[in-house]
Amino acid sequence: MSSHHAYANLIDDRPQDGVFRINRRIYNDPAVLEAEYERIFERTWLFLCHDSQIPNLGDFIATWMGRQPVIVVRNGDGEIGCFINSCGHRGALLVTRRTGNVSTFDCPYHGFCFDTKGKCVSARNRQSGWKDDFDIARFNLRGVAKVASYRGFVFGSLTEDVADLETFLAGTARLIDLFVEPAPAELEIVPGFCTYISNCNWKLMHENGPDAYHAPVVHRNFAETIANREARDGLQGMAKTERGRLTARIESGSYEVGNGHTIFWHERIDPSVYPIYEHREELSKRFWPAQLEWIIGRGRHITVFPNLLLNDLASSHLRTYRPLGVNRMETTIWCIAPKGEPPAERAARLRKFEDFFLPSGMSTPDDIALCEEAHIASFGKHAGWFELTRGDAFRSDGPDDAAKAIGMEPLASTTSWDHELTLQGVYRQWRRMMQAGG
């Protein structure tokens, strides 16, 4: 039972009737996941890594594109390539470390060697096994169809049939620009990472990011804890965590970007707690007031469908996801910061990151718990459909003034960060891709 319509019918999108519903089967049906691998993960751009993680020739990162293990490597010409992490000879997993530096990839099974462009440069005991005219190029590693990077964020696609990366990123590109450009040099991944595994469908976690509606409920305990700490210790400046977003009515907005991507923002009640505030003088020489408003005055949250989350809310970070099964998923999270930032700013950034975002932090565990519990609830087949209609009445097509000010052109805008049009956008794209067939 895997006709294309069967999956498309799991999303009931009828704007003319004021209906947007999702069937919970999308979270727990193994056939859905199988189709997602083929029609989503193998048919679009996927985030691979950040430029700064592989700065030198021969640096590589082993990661995944959906279920396929891949190696991302900076080759001898300084370009970034990506190969299936499988020996061209008999298919052994070529690289088992997360990252490293090589001149050649040497297979641990039969000793074949490949250069950083994937070319087979040595088949062991070639003379005694093959005739002289045998071309070992047939063992070359299988490259992925496309690799491109945007402002240091490296993406790959397993199919040629994708738009260029910037077109794919659509409106998120403008906000990525404003994420990157304030840094005097570039951004870098702060050393150290965290990978965590959750017992839920990957889409529940992907939804949890752009869903700002949950924050004042699920993270109220965080806001209370921080308020208690700040009162007790009389904290000032960067040592503080802005919690206005969790407790007060604030100005905010969100966008259906297109291609399944989402953006929301919120006004920062106290911008002075962020390290970037220290640089406002210098930034005001380089950016227009409207851009400064976005950079200093607003918390920003971006998701790029299907596997990247980038945000600068409590602290700046990026996350990538992959399914491990229909009911299990993996998230990897890094802190991202301006290269060479002053130690006091780096430390303040890190402490706020560790406070909130990790499975050992004071907020992410609550998100994980609710995603896992939502997964359990998804088996309640007799309550099979749920609605995503919050904010429909406030939706307007195209960019609002905040978006126009930075040249961002979303499909639709709304007046609050906690409206559900972001999630409608995710599932419209999901439906489109699942319908495309295999």
Partner 1 sequence: MTDIDLLADVTAFLNREARLLDAQQWHDWLELYCEDAIFWAPAMRMEGGYTNDPELELNLIYMKGRAGLEDRVFRLGTQLSLASTPLPRTRHFLSLITIDLVSETDVQVFANWQVAWYADVRGQQGRAGSYEYVLRRTDEGLRIAQKKILLLESDIDGYFDFYGV
Q: Closest separation between CB of residue 221 and partner 1, Å? A: 4
Q: What is the distance between the alpha carbons of residues 1 and 437, in angstroms, rounded to a whole number? A: 13
- Measured from the CB atom, the residue of 78 and 191 that comes closer to partner 1 is 191
Q: Least distance in Å: CB of 312 to partner 1?
A: 16
Q: Which is nearer to partner 1, 95 or 412 (CB)?
A: 95
Residue 188: which region, alpha, beta or left (left: phi > 0; alpha: psi -120 to 50)?
beta
Spatial CA neighbour of 237 closest among 357, 356, 349: 349
- Min dist. Cβ of residue 191 to partner 1 (A): 4
Cα–Cα distance, 270 to 351 (Å, whole number): 18
State which residue, 44 or 63, has the beta carbon closest to partner 1: 63
User: Residue 119 or residue 220: which is nearer to partner 1 going by CB?
Assistant: 220
Closer by beta carbon to partner 1, 239 or else 405: 239
Nearer residue to partner 1 within complex by CB, 103 or 284:
103
What is the maximum span of the chain, computed from C-alpha positions, in angstroms? 79
Written as one letter, the residue type at 115 is D
> Do the Cβ atoms of 21 and 420 come closer than 8 Å?
no
SS3 state at 332: strand
Beta carbon of residue 230, minimum distance to partner 1 (angstroms, whole number): 10
CB closer to partner 1 out of 108 and 111: 108
Sheet holding 11-14, edge to edge: 11-14, 19-23, 385-387
Question: For helices 289-297 and 172-180, what crossing angle results, to 10°?
Answer: 80
The answer to whether 58 and 103 are in contact (CB under 8 A) is: yes
Q: Which is nearer to partner 1, 7 or 334 (CB)?
A: 334
**Six token digits for residue 276:** 């970037």
CB of 215 to partner 1, least distance (A): 13
Taking the complex as a whole, the smallest distance from the CB of residue 227 to partner 1 amounts, in Å, to: 10
**Distance from C-alpha of 36 to C-alpha of 323, rounded to nearest angstrom:** 10
CB 318 within 8 A of CB 308: yes
Query: Which residue, 193 or 386, has its beta carbon nearer to partner 1?
Result: 193
Instruction: Tell me the C-alpha to C-alpha distance, in Å, between residue 134 and each of 117, 120, 327.
Output: 20, 13, 46
Structure tokens at 134: 């045998």
Report in angstroms how near the CB of residue 142 gets to partner 1 at its nearest.
Answer: 24
In angstroms, what is the minimal distance from the CB of 333 to partner 1? 9
* Footprint of partner 1 (CB under 8 A): 53, 61, 97-100, 190-199, 218, 220-222, 224-226, 228-229, 232-233, 330, 334-335, 343, 346-347, 350-351, 353-354, 358-362, 364-366, 368-370, 372-373, 376
Least separation in angstroms between residue 63's CB and partner 1 is: 10
Shortest Å distance, C-beta 349 to partner 1: 10
| Closer of 289 and 343 to partner 1 (Cβ) | 343
Spell out the long-range contacts of 308-314 with Cβ–Cβ below 8 A and sequence spacing 24 or more. Answer: 308/47, 308/153, 309/206, 309/209, 310/153, 310/176, 310/179, 310/336, 311/209, 312/179, 313/245, 313/266, 314/241, 314/242, 314/352, 314/353, 314/355, 314/356, 314/357
DSSP string for 42-83: TSSEEEEEEGGGS-STTEEEEEEETTEEEEEEE-TTS-EEEE
Kind plus residue range of the DSSP H or E element containing 206: helix 202-208
Which DSSP state fits 85?
S
CB closer to partner 1, 350 vs 405: 350
Kindly state the smallest distance separating residue 132's Cβ from partner 1, in Å.
Answer: 41
